[in-house]
Every structure is written in C-alpha cells, then in structure tokens.
Amino acid sequence: MKRVEAARKLIGQVQEQAKRYWLHIAYSLAVSAIVWAIGIGILVPYAKTWAQEAGVGEWEITVTMLIILIVITVLSNLPLLIFLAFDGFRKKSVLNQAKSELRHYHMGYLVREMASRFNAAHALQNYKVPIPIATLAMTVGWGLFFFSEGAEVVPQLSTGRISILFFRLAYADPVVLGFLGAFFFSLQMMLRRFFTGDIRPSVFMHIGVRTWLVIVLTIALGAIWTWPGRVDGALAPRWLLAVSFVGGVFPNVLFDFIRRAAAPLGQKAHMLSITGSLDRIRGLNVWRQARLAEEGIDSLESLATSDVVGLIANTRLGTMCLLHWVDQALLAVHGGESNLERFFQAGICTATAFECVYAGQLKENEREELEKDRGEGKLRTYMGRRGLTSVPEAPSGLAESLGNEDGWAERLRNIVIAICDDVNYQRLWAIRHGSMKNSKPDNDSVTVAGM
C-alpha cells in the first residue's frame, strides 16, 4: 500500500512539473520534430539505393538514420535538460546560498534587493525564447556535423564503422570544426553554470548567438583564406581547421584573422581593432568574461560603469571578486590602460588602493588640510565634490615609484581627483564600508518565486 501511495505521489509531482514546463518542452521539441521530418523525408526515397551501395539491408539503413536523428535530438536539447534540472533541484538552494554570502560579508542590507532581482531574472516566462534559440543553433550545427558532405554518411555508418565520423573530419569544411569548438565551449559553460547555480535565460541566448556567430565567421574565414582545389574537393589546410576549432572557443581569433585580411586597407583596418579588452583585468578568465558579456559588459569602460549591486544579484561570480574587478576597471579607465603595468609593478591594482596610497603618502599638514574638508584624512568621495580642488600634488615618493616623468605628479593628482569624483566609485566604496545599510533592510522572508 505504501508503494502504491509513493508511486501516486511521484506521478502527481511529475504531472505538476509537466504543467509548469510544458511550453518550454513543446518549443524545443518542435525544433526536433522538424529535424525528424527532414530526416525521414530523405530516408524514404533513398533507403533502398543506400542499402544496395553499402551491401546491407534496408532495415539497417533505417536504424542508422534513426540513431543519427536521436543523437542530434539529445545533443541539441541539452540546454532544455540542464534548465529542467536547475529549476527543479538547484534554484531554491542557490538563493539561500546567495543570502548567506551577503550576510557573511556584512551586506545583509542587500538581501532583499538581491532576492527580488533573482526572482525576476529566473521567472519561467523568461526562458521561453532563449532555450529554443539555443536548441535551433545546436540542431543546425549537429546537422552540419553529420551531413555537411552529404547524406552518404548514413550507408557508411550502417556498416558499423563508427570511426568513419572522425575520419570525415579531415575532409570537413572549417565551419564544422568551428561548430565543434563552439559546442565544446557551450557544454563546459552550461555545466560550470549549473554547478555554480547561475543558469539564467541569458546563458542560452549566449549559446545560440555564439554558435550562429561562429558559423558565420568560419564561413567568411573559409571564403577569405581559400585554398587551391577547394571546388574539386581538396582538403582544407590543417592550420585552417585548427584555427576554426580554436575560433569556436574564442570567436575573437576568427575576427582577428579576418581583420588581418583587411590589413591592405591601411588606416581603415584599424577601425576593426579591439581596445579596452577585459583581458587586462586580473582574475577574469574566458568563462567569466563570457558571463559578464551576458550582462552587456565586454570592455573596461562598461565594467567600470556597471551596476555593482546588479552584478552581485544577477551573477554567481563572487561578491568580493566582482567588487575587485570593478575596482580594477576604474583604475584602468581613469589611470589609463597604458599605465596599468606601472601601477601593478608598484603594488597598486585597484582604484581604492591608489587612493589609499596617495592619501597615505601625503605630508602631515596636507592630510590635516584634507581632513577639514573630508574627514579621516583620506580622499573619500562620499562627501561629494567638496574639497577636490584642494587635493595637493602627488607626493614625490609615489611619483618616483610610478615613473618620475615631467608632469607625472600633476597627472597623478588629476587621476585621483577623477577617481574620487566617479559616481560608481562612490557606490563601490559605500558598499564595501557599509554606508548603504539603511537603504535596503534585510528580510529573511524572501523566497524563490514559484517554489
């Protein structure tokens, strides 16, 4: 009797979950249904011919085609499967973990705002479009993988030689290797984001856009860096296949090769160059850069002007890491990207560190003068613009450690004034020092919407 009741309870839970997710499942399966219709439409008229060519029965051809369609369906619907696993098993614990992290850093006053943004970002309706877009992109990619050289792969695989798939990669078009690189990146990103509890709709949109972008760029790369005998079926150069795969993981590589092809344009080619890259931020690897790109942050300027509280609420990259990266970006923007190495060598990695070192090396009378205007003898900006004009020139010791050039001390003074007057820096300092405690009270009653 207990087993029957347990079974009924399980069936009820499955039915309840099916009601919640039926629309998401229907959208993704609609894409797979189109693939099956095309596959069966190709199979029916050619099954007999393929069987004769391969020396196997028609049923073997049919089974091979069905297996290929099943593989394409499963691999293409990985975004849907990961979303269902996250929403069903991880979503609630992720919110509780985020609350605990904020309280650990004495930022409990941000819990209510963070929870509100979390529920809004992870609402089910937000996933209706991104998941099918990712599914469609992967379906096209896996279709290219199996059928880029025609449907002859079906009779070849029906003989039981699975290795023919890997052998065909040597003859594949660069777009196939580009897709495999994009899938390699996307799979790792989805798994990383699942275990860190950061499966937002933007991750699926990012996968779809990245896959389409790589496909277009590899097609363009193959057209620009063409090779002799391509029309007659000659193999693509090994370096081009390698570049296509790496470009699937790092699309900037493909863009860089296309930019080099535009080098003869001279001055116009520089219009395609990329400046202000997030590569200059210490601690930001390719996965974290991809996560920030989903929030519209793809340069030093966008990171320096980003909403710090929004990043803490919307991402699972770590509160202190995010504060440190924004702090680095502020130093790069105001201090000059070309001067970053000077600051790093002097042990100054962030705008906050630069401000503290600047204030700490001032003469006693100069610190007293600033103390009258700002309090605590430091160049804090939460007091507003008052007193900025009284900031003295940079101390000689600091100027010498950063490169004692003509006018460098005055430049350092301008840099620290610009940093102190930056609104985002004021907010960053306020978060770190608890000046926002009264803005949003802690609220333990906030729960996951729909749970």
- Whole-angstrom distance between the N-terminal and C-terminal Cα of the chain? 29
* CA 27 to the chain's CA centroid: 24
CA distances from 424 to 303, 306, 421 (A): 10, 8, 9
Look up tokens 């002097």; give the residue.
346
> How many residues comprise the chain?
451
- How far is it, in rounded angstroms, from Cα 187 to Cα 277? 24
Q: What is the DSSP letter of 411?
A: H
Q: Report whether pLDDT(372) > 80.
A: no
Residue pair 390/373 in contact (Cβ under 8 Å)? The answer is: yes
Taking CA atoms, 1 is separated from 13, 14, 378, in Å, by 19, 20, 73
Q: Comparing 189-193, 266-270, 278-282, which segment has the lowest mean pLDDT?
A: 266-270
Question: What is the structure's pLDDT at 20?
Answer: 66
Compute the Cα dihedral for 405, 409, 412, 414 and give only its sign.
Answer: negative
CB of 240 closer than 8 Å to CB of 173: no
Instruction: Over range 150-179, report the average pLDDT.
Output: 79
pLDDT digits (tens, 9 = 90+) for 88-108: 787 777 777 777 877 776 777
Residue 129, both tokens: 């479009």
- pLDDT digits over 289-345, tens only? 888 888 888 888 899 888 887 787 778 788 888 889 999 999 989 888 888 888 888
Q: What is the DSSP letter of 64?
A: H
- pLDDT, tens digit (0-9, with 9 covering 90-100), for 56-82: 778 888 888 888 889 999 999 999 888
- Position 139 confidence tier, pLDDT thresholds 50, 70, 90: very high
Does residue 259 register a pLDDT over 60? Answer: yes
More confident residue, 254 or 402: 254
Overall average pLDDT of the 427-448 stretch? 57
Contact 198, 316 (CB under 8 A): yes
Cα–chain-centroid distance for residue 176?
22
Give the model's pLDDT for residue 8. 66
**269, 263 Cβ separation under 8 angstroms:** yes
Q: Which of 320-334, 344-358, 361-375, 398-412 has the highest mean pLDDT?
A: 320-334
What mean pLDDT value characterizes the chain?
Answer: 76
- Contact, 53 vs 39, CB < 8 A? no
Give the C-alpha separation, 129 to 134, whole Å. Answer: 9
**Contact present, 427 and 308 (Cβ < 8 Å):** yes
When pLDDT is cut at 50, 70 and 90, the band that residue 260 belongs to is confident
* Tokens read off for 66: 């069905």
Taking the domains of the chain in order of start, what are their residue ranges?
13-272, 283-432
pLDDT in tens, 197-207: 888 888 899 89
CB-count burial class (<10 Å; 0-12, 13-18, 19+) for 65 = buried
Residue 108 CA, distance from chain mean position: 27
Per-residue pLDDT for 365 more than 90? no
The span from the CA of 350 to the CA of 45, in Å, is 67
The upper half-sphere exposure of residue 447, i.e. CA atoms within 13 Å in the direction of its Cβ, equals 4
